[in-house]
Structure formats: C-alpha cells, structure tokens
Chains A and B, each alone.
Chain A
C-alpha cells in the first residue's frame, strides 16, 4: 500500500489501511514520543493517544502537504498536551542545583555517542527543558512559537533552552569520561 492508499483507507476506517499505516509510521512516531517523554511507558501512552488522533482526523489531511510532517506535528502536539497535563507534577530542577561543567565541555567532542545514549541524556532532562530543547533544536521552532505552544513567556523558553543545553553538556562530559578510558583500553 502506498501513502495515498493508506490515507484513503484510513479515512474509510478500513482495518487493512490502519494496519499498514501503523507498520509504516510507528517507528517514526514512537521516536518522536521517546524524545518528549521521560521513559518508554510515557512514550507508549503518548503514542497511543496520538495514533487515535491521527486515525480520527485523517480526513483533515490536505494533499500537497507532507504527510510525514503532518502526522509528526500531531504527535508533537500530543506530546505537548501531555507535557501540559504533567506540568503540575513535573520536577523543575534549577540549573544551580545541577551544576554545569564549563571548562570540560570540549571533552564530549572527542568521542562518538550512540543515539540511545543521546536519547537517555534527553530523557534525564526536566520535562520543561526537554520539551523546549526538542522543539527548538530538533523541530526547528522559534522561541515565540514555543512560548505560544507551551503557554509560557518567550524568555522562559530561552532560559529553559539554555539550561537544557548546559545540562546536556554536563551529562555528555560525564558520559565521555566513562567512555574514553574504555576506548583507550
């Protein structure tokens, strides 16, 4: 089944088309969910919610636009909604509590990190930092858009991005310290 057939079938609520859609796009969508959530269980919840939205609103997709971009956007919005729901319970760690390695920041450039390792560093970020970092760095959103999406001030978005990057730098430095001795051996 090609993309058009999948879309047409999903609009008609055909089970075969829905199966084909899941088979084709589940990896891409689950990857998005994993980046926006703390762990795999949360990612599965967001994926489930997002898939239902996609199947339900498939008729709203207009031809000419990127289908992958459209479903990705739905999944991101679902993740943001999830973030807003969890906002009350989210752990807002202050950068001062965590600490930043400034002088050792070049260390991580010396070694390569796997996607899994990078993903773990993102997952360890506080929810707000993680969301802003994903939206700005990976999705390419502007701070104004992020502020509107998350319902926060633009400066909050900027500061959270900055803190997120510093936290990631620290984590990568820690990770590279562990990895380099192993590589030398």
Chain B
C-alpha cells in the first residue's frame, strides 16, 4: 500500500502542472479544419457553402433570365408569325384615305368590308400585345415581325386597291347595262311608228324594225 501511495504521489506531483509545447504544424491543421467546418456551417456573417449555393442559383437564374427568348422563340415564333400574317397596317391616315376613295354608291358595302378587316386586325394586335409583354422578343425576331408587317401592309393596300377597282368596274358595268337597256327600250318604242311608216310606204319591215324591200307586186 505504501508502495502504491509512493507511485501515485510521484506521478501526481510530476504531472499536476505538466506542460509541453505543441508543434505549430498542429495549429495549422486545426485552422484548416476550422476553415473547412466554417464553410460547411451556416453562419450569416461568413461565406459558407449555403451562400455559395445561393449565389450559384442566382447566377443560374440570371443566365436563364438573360437568354429566355432563345427557348421561347422556338415555341412562340410560329404562333406569332401566324398571328401577324393577318395583321393589317395600323395607319389611321391611310385608312381614312382608303375610306375616302370609296364610291358613294358603294360606301356602305366598303365600310362593312373595312370594318370587318379592322376588327380582325384589332383582335390580332390584341393577341400580340398579350403575348409580347410576357416575352422579351429578340431583336432578330422583332425585325422579322416588322418585315412581315410591312409586307402585309403593302399586300393589304394592293388588295384594297384591287377590290376598289373591281367595284368601280362593276359599277361602270351596271351603269352601262342600264344605258343599254334604256336604249333598247327607246329603240323598242320607236319600232312601232317605224313599222307603221313602213307599212304606209308599202314597205315591209320585220318586227324589229329592220327594213326589207318587198319584191311582191301589187
């Protein structure tokens, strides 16, 4: 027992304030470990893996946000083109001019045509304005749409002019027909007296008033 006490006391005295300097390499390793841990631990005041994930997400969103039209173009463009195919020029001056050129006799008919076209155009424009605010069209697509609009504008004007000419021709033709009919009626009214006159002259005439020389001898 005494021997045990001696050993216990010997070691207790020796190591109660035992201190040995640790190498610096240990502290460097500790700092590396702490740095790794702080990166993996959520701390709002320090850069960590959560911030990195958030930043990566934001960058990804930003990249997708910068080029959303490339993906949207594939799906939307055909619809836009099909919609714009029937879009007509939206020039009030030109429209007024077109209306002014309509013949007074056919004004109602042309007004109906123009009104229907304008209604259709307004519907199409509304469809486009409903699409375009949601999607930023790329410059190339805008240019393409502008070209389509210009082409459609010219085609519309030509079509309208053609229709006006057709209406003019039709009007002239109708007026001509009226004249012919009047002439025919006038000619008919003159046939009877002419026949009478011919009969008095002993000349034969057919029912239409054409003179024929009779070969009969009275």
A residues within 8 Å of B by Cβ? 13, 18, 22, 26-32, 34-35, 44, 47-48, 51-52, 55-56, 105-106, 109, 113, 115, 118-119, 122, 133, 137-138, 165, 168-169, 172
Pair A55/B8 contact, Cβ less than 8 Å: no
> Main SS of the interface on chain B?
helix
Cβ contact of B12, chosen from A18, A22, A138, A168, cutoff 8 A: A138
Distance in Å: Cβ of A173 to nearest Cβ of chain B: 11
Within 8 A of A (CB), among B3-55: 3-4, 6-8, 10-12, 14-16, 18-23, 25-27, 29-31, 33-34, 37-38, 46
Interface extent on B, as a size class?
20 to 34
How long is the Cα–Cα vector from A106 to B4 in the complex, in angstroms?
Answer: 11
How long is the Cα–Cα vector from A18 to B19 in the complex, in angstroms?
Answer: 19
Best-buried of B10, B11, B16, B29 by chain A (most CB within 10 Å):
B11
* Given A22-B27, A122-B11, A27-B33 contact (CB < 8 Å): no
How long is the Cα–Cα vector from A68 to B29 in the complex, in angstroms?
Answer: 22
* Given A26-B21, A165-B8, A48-B30 contact (CB < 8 Å): yes
Pair B26/A31 contact, Cβ less than 8 Å: no
> Main SS of the interface on chain A?
helix
B residues within 8 Å of A by Cβ? 3-4, 6-8, 10-12, 14-16, 18-23, 25-27, 29-31, 33-34, 37-38, 46
Distance in Å: Cβ of B17 to nearest Cβ of chain A: 8
Chain A residues near B46: list those with CB within 8 A: 13
Pair A169/B3 contact, Cβ less than 8 Å: yes
Pair A118/B11 contact, Cβ less than 8 Å: yes
- Listed by A's residue number, 16 A-B pairs whose Cβ atoms lie within 8 Å are A13-B38, A18-B34, A26-B26, A30-B21, A30-B22, A31-B19, A35-B18, A44-B26, A51-B30, A55-B34, A109-B6, A115-B14, A122-B11, A165-B7, A168-B7, A168-B11
